Chains A and B, each alone.
Chain A
Amino acid sequence: MKVSLALPSFHIHRGQALPLICNRFNEGPWRQYSQYPPTYAEPLYRKENLEEFSKSGEAESLAFTPIKAALNNQTSSIFHDPMVAKFTNYVMKTGNKALARDLMEKTFEIIKRTQLQKYHQAETEEEKALIECNPINIIHSAVENTRPLLQLTPIKRGGVKYQVPVPITEKHSYFVSMRWLVESGREKERKVHFPEKLAKELLDASRNEGRVVKKKQDLHRQCEANRAYAHYRWS
């Protein structure tokens, strides 16, 4: 059933915490399985967002809107990072979040130790200033550096499947990049531990080099080669 409602057209960005009625339907039918009706707003759990919200007056519009319950891993802690929380979920296997969290913490510890060693070995102040030691910054730049711009989708035309380059949504590009990083962390010898390998991959990717960045470039190259099929997307 096609739902068409006469709704006032907001200018809406993805991820914005507002009662996003029209956005819900854009995202596809699976969203209707949500336990919340589409009128429910996303929860705000960061203190800094809360202050912004009350200052800009948007809080008033939320005053009488029902709000979803916050997720288990959403805290207002200073040490919380949404992307790290997401990454932890991608590392997790069979719901064992405790182990996934341990692995992430060990990864960060290794990153810090490696970078600090470099920091202490650097001789001049300028060299030292160039070394990034914050693991959160490193994982952010690693994920940003490995995000693809396009993806290949098989489309059947005349009995033949063509790998057609199509634009990728922002959310999916983050997912793909994190999936690649986790996969490359798992491709290792038996004796190497996952956190060690993941730390190495993250550090490489944050410098815009390494296997995952190469994987992204390969995908882009493939898309470039298949540009002749691009029109199959609409015809």
Chain B
Amino acid sequence: MAGIMARRILRILPELRSTSLLQAKNVQHHLPLCWNSHAVLEQITAPRTSISQPSLHTKDHLGLWYKIEPEVLKQLYSLGGIPRKYAVQCTTFNETCLMVREPAVTVIDLIKRSNLSLPPNKFMLSSKWRRDVKEVVPSTSVPGRFDHPLQAALWLQHFRSQNSELLKTLQLETSMTYTWTRRESTEAGSPLMALVEQGVNRARYASDCIMALTTEIKKYATDGRCKVAVVVDGINTFYCPNSFYRREDRTKNGVVVGAIDGLANDAGRRESHLPRYLLRRKGWEKLDPFIPIPVSNYNELEMESVINYYVDRHWLQTVNGASAEGRKELVALSGYNPMTLMQVCNAI
């Protein structure tokens, strides 16, 4: 469309080479109307890999698409976790697929090789890419602290759905008695799930439940009974001047994966996407030493792969939209940026 061209700056127009990923074959059968290549007698299919377990991906799988099975999806992301826009895209595509990309492979590889008896490694993913607080209530346990009970309860629900199977097998128990009110308390020796249930049912104490839960889990991890991965999207939000971040102890058997997100900052602090700027001095010093992993824009191979995937899912509908010329235009319109490419392809 003329509009897209008019609005976005022509950034790069490199020569695109056809890569091995472009699987073209002649087909004899009748193509459905929905298929965008009336004119082209070749069928473009998405480059996929049958290995749907991210831990098994290697550098050979870069640029290939893997499917997240519905049951895994339900267990991990039933209460959010996938960005809303991509979730909408997945319902339209009738499947949830992700592309194997370099940063993920690097992080998984490093986690596999890290020594868990040492203090946790921290991996910070940063790219050019705030959650609204629902309710603020003065804390019941610590005077002067403020809680976000509704979000805490949501977090606990999320934790329950993601880790319920794991907690059943691990048989972890609370080490001390937590007293919420005169009548309500969680006895020492009750399963950790009781803490979670308490938080979910009584949103007022959800924040304190999280506090108790994290303390317990950290203790068990240090004892070597379980492994912990802390995954945070928008970790820099902890270091905004208006937020309260509690001091984290040195824990063994852990790993921290954070995504540094420009949108997690205050609205006035979004000029740069670089980690030092987004984390501020305080966050930088707190997280140091960490392993920075930049998430870059697509390279040419990934670009081919994404466009093939869009054609495969009938999302790119323009006649000849996936021809060599169309691909060049899409590169120019999106500047290899994943988000921009998704937006550009919405209307065409």
Contact = CB atoms under 8 A, between A and B. Distances in A.
Interface string A69-98: 000111101111100110010000000011
A116 B6 contact: no
A98 B4 CA distance: 10
Contact of B34 (A73, A108, A113, A132): A132
B317 A133 contact: yes
Interface stretch (A2-10, A122-130, A227-235): A122-130
Contacts of B315: 112, 116
Contacts of B314: 116, 119, 133
A115 B30 CA distance: 20
A84 to B, nearest CB: 7
Contacts of B317: 112, 133-136
Contacts, number: 97
A101 interface: yes
A36 to B, nearest CB: 22
B320 interface: yes
Is the contact region of chain B dominated by helix, strand, or loop, or is it mixed? loop
B94 A85 contact: no
A79 B33 contact: no
Contact of B329 (A74, A77, A98, A113): A77
B177 interface: no
Interface in B303-342: 314-315, 317-321, 323, 325-326, 329
A170 interface: no
A153 B168 CA distance: 80
Contacts of B2: 73-75, 77, 80, 85
Is the contact region of chain A dominated by helix, strand, or loop, or is it mixed? helix
A129 B347 contact: no
A51 to B, nearest CB: 13
Contacts of A98: 3, 7
Contacts of A101: 1, 3, 7
Contact of A128 (B34, B94, B323): B34
B319 A104 contact: no
A66 to B, nearest CB: 24
B325 A131 contact: no
A77 B326 CA distance: 8
A97 B315 CA distance: 25
Contact of A77 (B1, B94, B319): B1
Contacts of B93: 116
Q: How large is the interface on B (under 10, 10 to 19, 20 to 34, 35 or more residues)?
A: 20 to 34
A116 B317 CA distance: 11
A87 to B, nearest CB: 11
Given A128-B34, A133-B317, A79 B6 contact: no
A85 B4 CA distance: 12
A78 B317 CA distance: 12
A168 B142 CA distance: 79
Contact of A78 (B30, B34, B94, B329): B329
Interface in B72-94: 88, 92-94
Nearest to A108: B347
A105 B346 contact: yes
Nearest to B30: A129
A110 to B, nearest CB: 10
Given A75-B2, A108-B347, A129-B33, A136 B318 contact: yes
Nearest to B32: A129
Interface string B92-124: 111000000000000000000000000000000
B36 interface: yes
B136 interface: no
Nearest to A74: B2
B9 interface: no
A130 B329 contact: no
B6 A73 contact: yes
A105 B318 contact: no
Interface string A206-227: 0000000000000000000000
B348 interface: yes
A119 B3 contact: no
A109 interface: yes
A120 interface: yes
B48 to A, nearest CB: 18
A134 B318 contact: yes
Contacts of A88: 3
A169 interface: no
Nearest to B322: A78
A109 B345 CA distance: 9
Nearest 4 CB-CB pairs, A to B?
A: A105-B347, A101-B3, A129-B32, A134-B317
